[in-house]
Amino acid sequence: MKLSFPFDPVERSEESERLVMKDGQRLYHRFRPAPYYGGIATADAVGCSFLCAYCWNYNRNLYPQRFDKFYSSHEVSSRLLKIARQRSYHLFRITGSEPVLGEDSFHHLLKVIIHILREKPRSIFILETNGFYLGYRQDLIEKLNFPALRIRIALKGVDENTFQSITGAKKEFFQYPILALKELEKLGLKAWPAIMGDLFTDNEIERLREHLHEHSIQAELEFEYLERYPFVLQNMDKRNIQIKE
Protein backbone atom coordinates (compact mmCIF):
# COMPACT_ATOMS: atom_id res chain seq x y z
CA MET A 1 0.00 0.00 0.00
CA LYS A 2 1.56 3.28 -1.14
CA LEU A 3 1.53 5.97 1.53
CA SER A 4 2.60 9.59 1.75
CA PHE A 5 1.65 12.06 4.47
CA PRO A 6 -0.85 13.59 4.68
CA PHE A 7 -3.08 11.12 2.81
CA ASP A 8 -6.70 11.02 1.68
CA PRO A 9 -8.46 8.76 4.23
CA VAL A 10 -11.24 7.90 1.77
CA GLU A 11 -8.68 6.44 -0.62
CA ARG A 12 -6.80 4.72 2.20
CA SER A 13 -10.02 3.30 3.63
CA GLU A 14 -11.09 1.88 0.28
CA GLU A 15 -7.63 0.46 -0.43
CA SER A 16 -7.44 -1.08 3.06
CA GLU A 17 -10.83 -2.68 2.56
CA ARG A 18 -9.69 -4.30 -0.67
CA LEU A 19 -6.78 -5.84 1.24
CA VAL A 20 -8.63 -7.03 4.35
CA MET A 21 -11.94 -8.18 2.84
CA LYS A 22 -12.48 -11.18 0.55
CA ASP A 23 -15.86 -12.68 -0.32
CA GLY A 24 -17.45 -11.30 2.85
CA GLN A 25 -14.57 -12.50 5.04
CA ARG A 26 -12.20 -10.21 6.93
CA LEU A 27 -8.63 -10.47 8.14
CA TYR A 28 -8.28 -10.91 11.92
CA HIS A 29 -5.22 -11.12 14.11
CA ARG A 30 -6.61 -12.92 17.18
CA PHE A 31 -9.59 -13.56 19.45
CA ARG A 32 -9.22 -13.08 23.19
CA PRO A 33 -10.82 -12.23 26.51
CA ALA A 34 -9.90 -8.67 27.57
CA PRO A 35 -10.28 -6.88 30.92
CA TYR A 36 -11.68 -3.61 29.52
CA TYR A 37 -15.24 -2.54 30.37
CA GLY A 38 -15.11 -5.08 33.20
CA GLY A 39 -14.51 -8.02 30.85
CA ILE A 40 -15.21 -8.26 27.12
CA ALA A 41 -14.94 -10.86 24.35
CA THR A 42 -12.61 -9.27 21.81
CA ALA A 43 -11.70 -9.80 18.16
CA ASP A 44 -8.58 -8.01 16.91
CA ALA A 45 -8.93 -7.17 13.22
CA VAL A 46 -6.48 -5.37 10.90
CA GLY A 47 -6.89 -2.49 8.46
CA CYS A 48 -7.64 1.18 9.14
CA SER A 49 -8.53 4.40 7.36
CA PHE A 50 -6.02 6.27 9.55
CA LEU A 51 -2.46 5.54 10.64
CA CYS A 52 -2.37 7.01 14.14
CA ALA A 53 1.07 7.63 15.60
CA TYR A 54 0.02 6.14 18.96
CA CYS A 55 -1.69 3.02 17.56
CA TRP A 56 -0.64 -0.18 19.34
CA ASN A 57 -1.52 -2.11 16.15
CA TYR A 58 0.48 0.23 13.90
CA ASN A 59 2.42 -2.28 11.79
CA ARG A 60 -0.57 -4.53 11.16
CA ASN A 61 -2.59 -1.54 9.99
CA LEU A 62 0.33 -0.26 7.89
CA TYR A 63 0.77 -3.63 6.15
CA PRO A 64 -2.49 -5.53 6.76
CA GLN A 65 -1.96 -7.88 3.82
CA ARG A 66 1.11 -9.39 5.54
CA PHE A 67 -0.78 -10.68 8.54
CA ASP A 68 -3.43 -12.97 9.80
CA LYS A 69 -6.26 -15.04 8.39
CA PHE A 70 -9.63 -14.40 6.78
CA TYR A 71 -12.72 -15.25 8.86
CA SER A 72 -16.37 -15.18 7.93
CA SER A 73 -18.79 -13.17 10.07
CA HIS A 74 -20.21 -16.42 11.43
CA GLU A 75 -16.74 -17.67 12.41
CA VAL A 76 -15.99 -14.36 14.15
CA SER A 77 -19.22 -14.28 16.12
CA SER A 78 -18.90 -17.98 17.03
CA ARG A 79 -15.40 -17.47 18.43
CA LEU A 80 -16.52 -14.43 20.41
CA LEU A 81 -19.54 -16.27 21.78
CA LYS A 82 -17.29 -19.15 22.88
CA ILE A 83 -15.05 -16.72 24.79
CA ALA A 84 -18.10 -15.10 26.38
CA ARG A 85 -19.47 -18.44 27.54
CA GLN A 86 -16.13 -19.47 29.01
CA ARG A 87 -15.70 -16.18 30.89
CA SER A 88 -19.36 -15.38 31.63
CA TYR A 89 -19.01 -12.17 29.61
CA HIS A 90 -21.92 -10.18 28.24
CA LEU A 91 -19.89 -7.63 26.29
CA PHE A 92 -18.41 -7.96 22.79
CA ARG A 93 -16.23 -5.85 20.52
CA ILE A 94 -13.93 -5.72 17.49
CA THR A 95 -10.80 -3.63 18.06
CA GLY A 96 -7.24 -2.97 16.88
CA SER A 97 -8.45 -1.61 13.56
CA GLU A 98 -11.31 0.30 11.96
CA PRO A 99 -14.41 -1.94 11.68
CA VAL A 100 -16.01 0.27 9.00
CA LEU A 101 -13.72 0.81 6.01
CA GLY A 102 -16.46 0.66 3.38
CA GLU A 103 -19.67 -1.18 2.56
CA ASP A 104 -18.15 -4.68 2.53
CA SER A 105 -16.59 -4.37 5.98
CA PHE A 106 -19.72 -2.61 7.25
CA HIS A 107 -21.97 -5.50 6.20
CA HIS A 108 -19.49 -8.03 7.64
CA LEU A 109 -19.71 -6.14 10.94
CA LEU A 110 -23.52 -6.06 10.85
CA LYS A 111 -23.65 -9.84 10.41
CA VAL A 112 -21.33 -10.33 13.38
CA ILE A 113 -23.50 -8.07 15.57
CA ILE A 114 -26.78 -9.67 14.45
CA HIS A 115 -25.53 -13.22 15.10
CA ILE A 116 -24.16 -12.37 18.55
CA LEU A 117 -27.30 -10.53 19.66
CA ARG A 118 -29.52 -13.31 18.34
CA GLU A 119 -27.55 -16.02 20.15
CA LYS A 120 -27.06 -13.98 23.34
CA PRO A 121 -29.95 -11.50 23.49
CA ARG A 122 -29.01 -9.88 26.81
CA SER A 123 -25.51 -8.96 25.66
CA ILE A 124 -24.05 -5.62 24.57
CA PHE A 125 -21.90 -5.03 21.49
CA ILE A 126 -19.53 -2.06 21.73
CA LEU A 127 -18.58 -0.68 18.34
CA GLU A 128 -15.17 0.98 18.69
CA THR A 129 -14.68 3.17 15.63
CA ASN A 130 -12.87 6.30 14.52
CA GLY A 131 -16.19 7.38 13.02
CA PHE A 132 -14.61 8.60 9.80
CA TYR A 133 -16.40 6.42 7.26
CA LEU A 134 -19.69 6.71 9.13
CA GLY A 135 -19.39 10.48 8.81
CA TYR A 136 -18.47 10.17 5.15
CA ARG A 137 -21.35 7.76 4.45
CA GLN A 138 -24.03 8.86 6.89
CA ASP A 139 -26.63 6.80 5.04
CA LEU A 140 -25.13 3.72 6.72
CA ILE A 141 -25.80 4.97 10.24
CA GLU A 142 -29.51 4.14 10.39
CA LYS A 143 -28.58 0.47 9.87
CA LEU A 144 -26.86 0.53 13.28
CA ASN A 145 -30.17 0.88 15.09
CA PHE A 146 -29.77 -2.01 17.54
CA PRO A 147 -30.92 -1.37 21.13
CA ALA A 148 -27.98 -3.42 22.45
CA LEU A 149 -25.34 -1.56 20.40
CA ARG A 150 -23.07 1.07 21.95
CA ILE A 151 -20.92 3.20 19.64
CA ARG A 152 -17.67 4.69 20.91
CA ILE A 153 -16.11 7.16 18.48
CA ALA A 154 -12.43 7.79 19.13
CA LEU A 155 -11.65 11.37 18.09
CA LYS A 156 -8.02 11.63 17.06
CA GLY A 157 -7.47 15.34 17.56
CA VAL A 158 -8.99 18.46 19.07
CA ASP A 159 -8.73 20.43 15.82
CA GLU A 160 -7.64 20.04 12.20
CA ASN A 161 -3.90 20.33 12.88
CA THR A 162 -3.71 17.82 15.72
CA PHE A 163 -5.96 15.47 13.75
CA GLN A 164 -3.58 15.55 10.79
CA SER A 165 -0.41 15.09 12.84
CA ILE A 166 -1.85 12.16 14.80
CA THR A 167 -3.73 10.29 12.06
CA GLY A 168 -1.60 11.13 9.04
CA ALA A 169 -4.84 12.02 7.20
CA LYS A 170 -5.49 15.38 5.57
CA LYS A 171 -6.75 17.97 8.04
CA GLU A 172 -9.93 18.75 6.10
CA PHE A 173 -11.34 15.36 7.12
CA PHE A 174 -11.30 16.26 10.83
CA GLN A 175 -15.03 16.97 10.84
CA TYR A 176 -16.25 13.60 9.59
CA PRO A 177 -16.21 11.72 12.94
CA ILE A 178 -18.03 14.67 14.49
CA LEU A 179 -20.65 14.55 11.72
CA ALA A 180 -21.09 10.85 12.49
CA LEU A 181 -21.64 11.62 16.19
CA LYS A 182 -24.16 14.30 15.33
CA GLU A 183 -26.15 11.94 13.10
CA LEU A 184 -26.01 9.12 15.66
CA GLU A 185 -27.45 11.40 18.35
CA LYS A 186 -30.06 12.71 15.94
CA LEU A 187 -31.29 9.15 15.36
CA GLY A 188 -31.30 8.43 19.10
CA LEU A 189 -28.52 5.84 18.99
CA LYS A 190 -26.27 5.32 22.01
CA ALA A 191 -22.93 6.89 21.06
CA TRP A 192 -20.23 9.01 22.69
CA PRO A 193 -16.83 10.55 21.83
CA ALA A 194 -13.47 9.55 23.31
CA ILE A 195 -10.12 11.34 23.20
CA MET A 196 -6.53 10.45 24.19
CA GLY A 197 -6.38 12.51 27.35
CA ASP A 198 -2.62 12.69 27.90
CA LEU A 199 -1.90 14.31 24.51
CA PHE A 200 -3.85 17.53 25.06
CA THR A 201 -3.96 20.39 27.55
CA ASP A 202 -7.04 21.26 29.57
CA ASN A 203 -7.61 24.28 27.32
CA GLU A 204 -7.46 22.14 24.18
CA ILE A 205 -9.94 19.66 25.66
CA GLU A 206 -12.27 22.52 26.59
CA ARG A 207 -12.11 23.85 23.02
CA LEU A 208 -13.04 20.40 21.75
CA ARG A 209 -16.01 20.26 24.13
CA GLU A 210 -17.17 23.64 22.86
CA HIS A 211 -16.82 22.45 19.28
CA LEU A 212 -18.91 19.37 20.02
CA HIS A 213 -21.58 21.50 21.68
CA GLU A 214 -21.64 23.76 18.60
CA HIS A 215 -22.64 20.64 16.67
CA SER A 216 -25.36 19.87 19.26
CA ILE A 217 -23.50 16.80 20.53
CA GLN A 218 -24.53 16.21 24.13
CA ALA A 219 -22.71 12.97 25.01
CA GLU A 220 -19.97 13.15 27.62
CA LEU A 221 -16.38 12.96 26.46
CA GLU A 222 -14.54 9.79 27.53
CA PHE A 223 -10.81 9.86 28.16
CA GLU A 224 -8.45 7.09 27.13
CA TYR A 225 -4.76 6.99 27.93
CA LEU A 226 -1.64 6.10 26.02
CA GLU A 227 -0.13 2.63 25.93
CA ARG A 228 3.52 3.73 26.08
CA TYR A 229 5.16 0.99 24.05
CA PRO A 230 8.66 1.93 22.79
CA PHE A 231 7.62 1.82 19.13
CA VAL A 232 4.59 4.04 19.93
CA LEU A 233 6.82 6.67 21.53
CA GLN A 234 9.18 6.48 18.54
CA ASN A 235 6.32 6.98 16.08
CA MET A 236 5.04 9.93 18.09
CA ASP A 237 8.50 11.47 18.23
CA LYS A 238 8.82 11.25 14.44
CA ARG A 239 5.63 13.29 14.10
CA ASN A 240 6.57 15.68 16.91
CA ILE A 241 3.61 14.67 19.09
CA GLN A 242 4.23 15.41 22.74
CA ILE A 243 2.73 13.83 25.86
CA LYS A 244 1.19 16.44 28.15
CA GLU A 245 2.30 15.40 31.63
The answer to whether residue 142 sits within a structural domain is: yes
| 108, containing H or E segment | helix 103-119
Report the helix count and the strand count for the chain, using DSSP H and E. Answer: 9, 9
Using CA atoms, how far apart are residues 208 and 231, in angstroms rounded to an integer?
A: 28
Paired with 92 in beta bridges are 41, 125
Please report which confidence band the pLDDT of residue 67 belongs to, taking 50, 70 and 90 as the band edges.
confident
Let me know if residue 4 belongs to a domain: no
Please check whether residue 244 lies inside any domain of the structure: no
pLDDT per position as a tens digit, 110-146: 999 999 999 999 999 999 999 999 999 999 999 999 9
Asked whether residue 18 is domain-assigned, the answer is yes
Q: Burial level of 100, CB count in 10 A (0-12/13-18/19+)?
A: buried
Is residue 3 in some structural domain?
A: no
CA atoms within 13 A on the CB side of 188: 3
Q: Let me know if residue 191 belongs to a domain.
A: yes
Q: Give percent of the chain with pLDDT exceeding 70.
A: 99
φ and ψ at 154, to 5 degrees? Answer: -85, 105
Is position 1 within any domain? no
Find the helix or strand (DSSP H, E) in which 122 lies: none
Asked if residues 16 and 1 have their Cβ atoms less than 8 Å apart, the reply is yes
Containing structural domain, residue 45 = 9-238
What average pLDDT does this structure show over 176-197? 98
- Judge whether 152 and 129 are in contact, CB under 8 Å: yes
Q: How many domains does the chain have?
A: 1
User: Which residues lie below 8 Å from residue 237, measured CB to CB, with a gap of 6+?
Assistant: none
User: How sure is the predictor about 65, in pLDDT bands with cuts at 50, 70 and 90?
Assistant: confident
Residue 121 lies in a domain: yes
CATH number of the CATH domain containing 64: 3.20.20.70
**Mean pLDDT on 28-45:** 97
Q: What is the mean pLDDT of residues 60-71?
A: 88
69-114 pLDDT, tens digit per residue, is 999 999 999 999 999 999 999 999 999 999 999 999 999 999 999 9
